[in-house]
Amino acid sequence: MAFSFEGLNVYQRALKVAETVSGMAAAFGRGHYLLADELRRRAYRICQQIAEGTGRWPRAEQRGAYSAARGCVLEIVPLLELARRASLLPVEMHESLRGELDTLSKMLAGLIRGSEQKSATSEGK
**Inside any domain, residue 87:** yes
Of the listed ranges 6-10, 51-55, 87-91, 116-120, the one predicted with least confidence? 116-120
Please indicate, yes or no, if residue 124 is contained in any of the structural domains.
Answer: no
The answer to whether residue 61 is domain-embedded is yes
Distance, CA of 33 to CA of 51 (rounded, Å) = 27
The alpha carbon of residue 125 and the mean position of all alpha carbons in its chain are separated, in whole angstroms, by 33
Asked whether residue 106 is assigned to any structural domain, the reply reads yes
Structural domain count, the chain:
1
Asked if residue 63 belongs to a domain, the reply is yes
Query: Would residue 125 count as lying in a domain?
Result: no
**pLDDT tens digit sequence for 58-112:** 889 999 999 999 999 999 999 999 999 999 999 999 999 999 999 999 999 999 9
Residue 54 forms part of a structural domain:
yes
The pTM for the full model equals: 0.91
Average of per-residue pLDDT values in the chain: 94
Kindly report the length of the chain. 125
With beta carbons less than 8 A apart as the criterion, state whether 73 and 99 touch.
Answer: no
Residue 82: which CATH number? Answer: 1.20.1440.60
Domain annotation covers residue 83: yes
Instruction: Give burial (CB, 10 Å; 0-12/13-18/19+) of 82.
Output: middle
Domain with 97, as residue range(s), is 4-119
